[in-house]
Amino acid sequence: MSEKIRANSILPGRREDIELHTADGLTLVGELALPADRDPVAALVCVHPLPTHGGMMDSHIFRKAAWRLPALAGLAVLRFNTRGTSSVRGTSEGAFDAAVGERFDVAAAIEYAEFAGLPNVWLLGWSFGTDLVLKYGCDPAVVGAILLSPPLRFATDDDLAVWAESGKPVTALVPEHDDYLRPEEARLRFTPIPQAEVVGIDGAKHLWVGDSERVLDEIVSRVAPGVPTPLPSTWEGPMEVGDGSAYADRTVAAFADIPVAGPRQRRADVDG
């Protein structure tokens, strides 16, 4: 009997706690989720939003990706906490470094995926994580990048030029009502990367609340184009239920008045 897939549904998969070891001597905590009964067709390495503003490996899009995509799309999903970041999985060593020391975190995640033999590795960044992907993720082991709500705050034109020269695919999913960068401006800001695809998502906001399914469909259509989308909304078979209540207060909105080290963040115009 088919059952509806809900926000906290966990579909079958092989999941294991992992540790990443950075070149500057830190241990980061994470998880690798694999299909239960087959080899993955591709892999996502997830780089989360600002940890000073609630971002972590369990931010809801990444949590749902790890809980659903191994079963629905045959994908491997690697999530980890950047330096100083905590979640139910634990706390990574070190401290938030405003997109400087995090270069070693991204490198450690890519290295883990490579040594684990994960195929067709894509980086999936969200908000602050998109800046880390753009600055440090253009690695020979990486196929391409998918960017959710990119603010283009820490990433520079030089960083974009590296991706442009590589020719690797870059897709930016930009919410219509994003707090920082909206589709029209995003198309202008990404012009240094000729191959960049900027997809405006009607009605969506920076946190993608209520739009998880659309985001996962867009990701899968690029990373695993052989998998039909939209993905199924029901599942026939065993299904567990996860607990998302621990993160109810960990949203960007809850930390809106806390300053963040680094370049000044420009906010998008407020809707009239």
Q: Which CATH class is domain 2-255?
A: alpha beta
Is 0.85 surpassed by the pTM of this model?
yes
pLDDT in tens, 198-244: 999 999 999 999 999 999 999 999 999 999 999 999 999 999 998 76
Nearest to 107 by CA among 94, 123, 130: 123
pLDDT at 272 over 60: no
- pLDDT value, residue 271: 44
- pLDDT value, residue 269: 62
The C-alpha atoms of residue 173 and residue 215 are separated, in whole angstroms, by: 8
Burial 75-109 (b: 16+ CB within 10 A, else e): bbbbbbbbbbbebebeebebebbebebbbbbbbbb
pLDDT in tens, 44-68: 999 999 999 899 999 999 999 999 9
pLDDT at 77 over 80: yes
Q: Is 247 exposed, middle or buried (0-12, 13-18, 19+ CB in 10 A)?
A: middle
Residue type at 89 in one-letter notation: R
- pLDDT value, residue 264: 72
Contact between 47 and 126 (Cβ < 8 Å): yes
Sign of CA dihedral 55, 57, 61, 64: negative
Higher-pLDDT residue of 74 and 261 is 74
pLDDT in tens, 87-145: 999 999 999 999 999 999 999 999 999 999 999 999 999 999 999 999 999 999 999 99
- pLDDT value, residue 268: 77
- pLDDT value, residue 251: 54
The C-alpha atoms of residue 251 and residue 60 are separated, in whole angstroms, by: 10
Nearest to 33 by CA among 85, 92, 75, 89: 75
- pLDDT value, residue 39: 97
pLDDT at 32 over 50: yes
pLDDT bucket at 180, cuts 50 / 70 / 90 = very high
The C-alpha atoms of residue 192 and residue 219 are separated, in whole angstroms, by: 22
Average predicted confidence (pLDDT) for the chain: 93
pLDDT bucket at 248, cuts 50 / 70 / 90 = low
